[in-house]
Structure 1
Amino acid sequence: MEIRKLQKTGGSTLIVSLPKKWIKKNKLDAGSEVRLLKQPDGTISIDPGQTDSSKKIATVRCNNEESQHLFRDLIGNYLAGSTEIKVIGSPRLTVKERKTIRKFSASVIGLEIIEEEATQAILIDMSNPGALPFRTAIKRLYKIVNAMYNDSILILEGSEDLAADVVDRDTEADKLQWFIERQFNMMLENSSLSRPLQASAFEGVVYSNVARYLERIADHACRLAEIGYVAGLIPGRKMLPLAKDAGKIMENSMKSFINNDPRKATVVIDKGKKTIQKAQKYFENRYKKEMEHPLEFSIAMDAIVRTIAYSTDISEAAINYSAKIGNK
């Protein structure tokens, strides 16, 4: 961080000089226009106004590797904020590589295949950052995750047919979480995105973290869904109430975050800690006895406890957010 003094010119106008390295890097000169962007937190950022700087091109070279390796490379470039990804074959793209590229395009928001040849494929970002601000994206992600978790509870109660649908919806949760993380990374490199995304850099960090917590809850909803029907057959009356308590804690944690309510967040954290202790005690006592399906029981209880833990993380984020931003 550089500290510069304001100087007075013309009797009443205050000016500040800009760093020479920044001027040179952005190819500016006397008479060049820059944009002053007021941030949600009250600070001001200076945008050199060069639209080309927002374009980020990445190249991925295929070497007949495992399809999952190519998929990870593509996801990595997507999260880094690449607006164009060129995938080059060696010497040409295989059928498996083409399928992986199409799977990737279908798994993310914004990047579409606009050119596909024998030796390469090009994906271009067709999304508009302002079309889905952080707050809107987080709300959508929560709705998906909450529905997944509630359906996993229904599976515990005997609705086995919902399991495959819960797992399928995890793809949509991943897609939104990746999109939020990508938007945050892009905003760090291009401060002008702060306005359409309706968030400061600090708020971007918080939203990115909360999105990650929700995505992990979605993963545990899938785990619960996959074994929930069998786990629900295990004698005992405490697992289902604990699972419902976890869902309620998640719901209240998100309310505390969305409504900027640190007091409610504190209550949720206290409730979460007590419920985790209760769940762990129940698990230890129940596991000492002989039972059917011990593996499914362990997986179900672990999913419930971790759902509570990630929910309290969201409440922690709500408290930190409120302390920084205050009540708007």
Structure 2
Amino acid sequence: MEHRKIMALGKSSNAVTLPKDWLEENHLGKGDFVIMHKRNDGGLILQPYTNDTEEPRKICLTIRSDETPNSIKRRIIGSFLDGYSLITLKSDKIFTGEQQEAIREISRRLYMMVINSESSTIQLETIIDESKASINSCIDRMHMITFAMLRDVIEAFEKSDKELSMSVISLEEDVDQLMYLVLRIIRNAIQNPGLAGQLSLDPLDCLDFQSLVQLIERVADNVTEIAESQIKIVEEGVSIPDRLKNALLDAAKMAFKSYEESVRCFIYKDIEPTNKIINRQDDIREIYLKITPMPLSSDFNSSQITQVIAIRENIMDISSLSADIAELTIDRVSKYEE
């Protein structure tokens, strides 16, 4: 770390000299311009100013003819999160139909589009501008979609509505898409202080937002699994006993309320209700114990029992994830109070 003294410049201005090696590295001299970004923590970020349009980052991935669709998806996601805007995929032979389908599926989830497609080459390009994005807006949308999933999955469970359960499942892709976008913006902001300045992000925000979107996405995953279990139960035509169904509904409503309150607390930096959210897990555990072992009739086979147990565990997971968001809020507010 280097210390520099502030010097008076004229009657009303102050100046700080810039390190010579930094000027040489960035080819700066007398008369050149620099860009300054004020950080939320009072720091100042200094960058060279350039009129040149920044070239999009490019990467070329070689795809083996026997590579699995999931492996290809993971590599594309990794490249997207690392900030690459143009991803070229080249097969060592030709892409199989399954591989092409996987590439197109993941591109839709990553704000990317196919701009060139041949038998052995596919090019993907991002369709977003990170400098104009809003992390807060993305998180709001993630939360609203996830909360809608929670609301609908309860109604579907109450009414044994298979179509509504299927609608819930279809929304998970939207949550994933927003999560990947936020993670990409965060990673780019950490590497590019100028972008962080434009988005009014500091390092503490980046870490907290990253944790939050991953927790919200896991809540959405659990809701999707509840909907999938409900569909299987409805398809097999067996009714859940009222006592068990009501207990699961009570626990679900409590867990979902905790989720909604925890995200609201995070957004508004409100720690007042957080301990109540965390302690609510004990109330849900009491309901959990009342239905353990589960009061199921002999009409239920092992597969159906497994689905009901899965719903119960998903509800508990959502409660636990909500408590994690509440604890994240406490940590976040404490950082700003230091």
Q: TM-score range by the shorter chain?
A: 0.7 to 0.9
Mapped to 2, the partners of 1:279 and 1:80 lie a distance apart of 44
- Paired with 1:101 and 1:48, the residues of 2 have a C-alpha distance of 38
Aligned ranges 1:167-186 → 2 under 5 Å: 167-186=169-188
C-alpha deviation, 1:55, in angstroms = 3.4
Tell me how far apart the structure 2 counterparts of residues 108 and 324 of structure 1 sit (CA, whole Å). 32
> Is 1:98 paired with 2:100?
yes
Deviation at 1:45, TM superposition (A): 1.3
Q: Is the 8 A contact 2:241 2:296 kept in 1?
A: no
Deviation at 1:105, TM superposition (A): 1.6
Match of 2:219 among 217, 220, 237: 217
| Post-superposition offset of 1:276 | 4.1
Q: How does 1:1-328 map to 2 (within 5 A)?
A: 2-8=1-7, 10=9, 13-18=14-19, 20=21, 23=23, 27-31=26-30, 32-50=32-50, 55-64=56-65, 65-109=67-111, 111-157=112-158, 158-228=160-230, 230=233, 233-236=240-243, 237-271=246-280, 273-283=281-291, 285-287=292-294, 292=300, 293-326=304-337
Aligned identity (percent) is 20
Please give the TM-score of this superposition, normalised by the length of structure 1. Answer: 0.88
Q: CA distance change for structure 1 residues 225 and 44 in 2, over 3 Å: closer, same or farther?
A: same
Give the counterpart letter for 1:168 in structure 2.
Answer: S
Three-state SS of the structure 1 residue aligned to 2:27 is coil
Deviation at residue 286 of structure 1 after TM alignment: 2.9
| Aligned residue identity for 1:233 | I
Counterpart AA for 1:305: M
How far 1:213 sits from its partner (Å)? 0.5
TM (norm. structure 2) is 0.85
Distance 2:47 2:241 in 1: 61
Question: How many corresponding residue pairs?
Answer: 321
Q: Give the Å deviation of 1:245.
A: 0.6
Q: Distance in 2 between matches of 1:235 and 1:192?
A: 58
Q: Structure 2: 5+ residue runs without aligned partners?
A: none
Q: Amino acid of the residue matched to residue 170 of structure 1? A: E
Q: Secondary structure at the match of 1:262?
A: coil
SS of 1:286 mapped into structure 2: coil
Shift, 1:204, TM fit: 1.9
Cα distance, 1:289–1:116 mapped onto 2, change above 3 Å:
closer
Distance 2:95 2:85 in 1: 21
Contact (CA 8 Å) 1:134, 1:198: kept in 2 or not? Answer: no
CA separation in 1, counterparts of 2:222 and 2:288? 17
Superposed CA offset, 1:229-257 (max 9, x none): 63971442311111111111111111111
How far apart are the structure 2 equivalents of 1:248 and 1:133? 26
SS of the residue aligned with 1:150?
Answer: helix
**Cα displacement (A) at 1:209:** 1.1
2:241 and 2:42 map into 1 onto residues whose CA distance is 56
Decide whether aligned partners of structure 1 residues 140 and 175 sit closer, same or farther in structure 2, where only a CA change above 3 A counts: same
Gaps of 5+ in 1: none
Q: 1:290 & 1:5 partners in 2: Cα distance? A: 78
Q: Aligned partners of 1:55, 1:270: CA distance in 2, in Å?
A: 48
CA contact 1:249–1:308 (8 Å) conserved in 2? yes
Give the Cα–Cα distance (whole angstroms) in 1 for the partners of residues 166 and 9 of structure 2.
Answer: 71
Counterparts of 1:205 and 1:6, CA distance in 2? 32
SS in structure 1 of the partner of residue 124 of structure 2:
strand
SS in 1 for 2:41: coil
Conserved 8 A contact 1:4-1:16: no
- Cα distance, 1:17 vs. partner? 3.3
